[in-house]
Amino acid sequence: MTRWLTIVGVGDDGVAGLSPAIRALLEAAEIIVGSERLLSHLSKETARRYPWTSPLSDMVSKIADWRGRRVVVLATGDPMHFGVGVTLLRHFSAEEVVIFPTLSAFTLAAARLGWPLQEVETVSLHGRPAALIQPLIQPGAKLLALTEGGETVKAVTEILRARGYGPSRLTVFEHMGGETERKTVLTADQDVPADIAAFSTLAVECAAIPAAPVLPRVPGLPDDAFVHDGQLTKRDVRAVTVAALGPVPGALLWDLGAGCGSVGIEWMRAARGARAVAFERSAERIAMIAENATALGTPDLEIVEGDLPGTLERRPSPGALFIGGAVSNPAVFQAAWSALGAGGRCVANAVTLEGEAALIDRHATYGGELVRISVSEATPVGRLHAMRPRMSVLQWRATKG
């Protein structure tokens, strides 16, 4: 297939920073798409120019209509690192596209700080919730984030202070590689300057504060990390449950009868790009799910209100199922199991006799494993202590053939 679509990464120095070969390619183009700033750097003799539209999907449709013509898209930085190239390659095959990247903002920032980039966590907060940085905040961690200017930086400082990381060092880079490059250094406890550029790069050195709570991405967050009304898969059982579900990048989980959303949230935190849908009928619990998702860094958790199994209809097939609140309902199980893709994993927990009976029947029909999870904790007995058992959990694990 002819490669008719070219994506060119451009730095802050604009078209002047491109190689002669790429500038010649621009001169030969029929159509050029880019931001108003980048298009303004082009000579007047160049091809027809189109600025990005909102929504972006409108311009993607136009680009599809131009298939076969010489089309060039100008992108800021590395097009394939949180860039427009990622979006375009969801719509066009790699055989149609040629990409000429330039140094990403993360590469430039790491070079200026002397940070080994492979040891740094990266995230884009540009046009996305600042809460996405939550799972990355750990003692001593180094973070790089694309931002939408001062408001994003301010939101990050508020998150750091709330987590007890106020002394963390922040560095804001603006216009890296351009004539107006600027660096601002502050701590999360300080006020953010009001004149931060609309597109900047934020570096965070998380302070190692002994008193700051540690919320690792390994499943098994403390129960008090969640707002809940008691409808919560407890910490020890939750860690086993999420491990049995096996979160992997990009996989989709259905959390049926989500309660406060703890399993879906831990699933999303455990693997980059993992997605989850929390199905819950209680309006009060839905509010808790939304609050927990924001506080724990999974604001993209999808929440569906309504009664099961009706809310499962016409939804994308999941790669994993967790059945908690509706474990004894056969209609819910059948609808969810039918939607589960081949090789998908199902984990269901039961504490009642009725729930256990349902899981024993499913084990007999579909195979898998039945595991009894029993947890005891030390409690006072007068001046001494004894181990008091919690309610045991019967867990069924199965892989769909």
Averaged pLDDT for residues 367-372: 97
List CB contacts of 247: < 8 A, sequence separation 6 or more: 253, 267, 268, 270, 271, 274, 320
The verdict on 269 and 385 lying in the same domain is: yes
Burial class (CB in 10 A: 0-12, 13-18, 19+), 45: exposed
DSSP-derived letter for residue 13 is T
The verdict on 160 and 131 lying in the same domain is: yes
Does 216 reside within a domain?
no
CA 331 to chain centroid, in Å, comes to 32
The verdict on 152 and 75 lying in the same domain is: no
The verdict on 393 and 301 lying in the same domain is: yes
Q: Tell me which of 127-131, 207-211, 289-293, 310-314 is least confident.
A: 207-211
Per-residue confidence band for 396, with pLDDT thresholds at 50, 70 and 90: very high
The verdict on 131 and 32 lying in the same domain is: no
The verdict on 286 and 259 lying in the same domain is: yes
Cα angle: 280, vertex 282, 285; to 5 degrees: 80
Cα torsion through 138, 237, 284, 228, rounded to 10: -60
Whether residue 335 has pLDDT greater than 90:
yes
Quick: pLDDT tens for 212-238: 889 999 999 999 999 999 889 999 999
Whether residue 43 has pLDDT greater than 80:
no
Q: How far is CA 123 from CA 61, 72, 118, 291, 369, in A?
A: 28, 27, 13, 21, 38
Q: How far apart are CA 256 and CA 277, in angstroms?
A: 8
Q: How far is CA 55 from CA 60, 65, 137, in A?
A: 9, 17, 32
Q: Which of 178, 205, 232 is the last residue of a domain?
A: 205
Query: What pLDDT, on a 0 to 100 scale, did the predictor assign at position 206?
Result: 97
Averaged pLDDT for residues 16-30: 90
Q: Which of 205, 235, 265 is the last residue of a domain?
A: 205
Quick: pLDDT tens for 283-299: 999 999 999 999 999 99
pTM of the model: 0.91
Does 370 reside within a domain?
yes
Quick: pLDDT tens for 49-71: 999 998 999 999 999 999 999 99
Q: How far is CA 49 from CA 35, 46, 71, 215, in A?
A: 10, 8, 10, 48
Q: Which residues pair with 398 in a beta bridge?
A: 346
Question: Into how many domains does the chain fold?
Answer: 3
Query: What pLDDT, on a 0 to 100 scale, did the predictor assign at position 203?
Result: 98
Does 161 reside within a domain?
yes
The verdict on 157 and 174 lying in the same domain is: yes
Does 214 reside within a domain?
no
Q: How far apart are CA 237 and CA 305, in angstroms?
A: 25
What value does the mean pLDDT of the chain take? 95
Domain that holds residue 142: 106-205
User: What is the CATH number for 335?
Assistant: 3.40.50.150
The verdict on 161 and 263 lying in the same domain is: no
The verdict on 93 and 193 lying in the same domain is: no
Q: How far apart are CA 147 and CA 174, in angstroms?
A: 10
User: What is the CATH number for 170?
Assistant: 3.30.950.10
Query: What pLDDT, on a 0 to 100 scale, did the predictor assign at position 45?
Result: 66
Query: What pLDDT, on a 0 to 100 scale, did the predictor assign at position 44?
Result: 67
- Rg of the chain, C-alpha, whole Å: 25
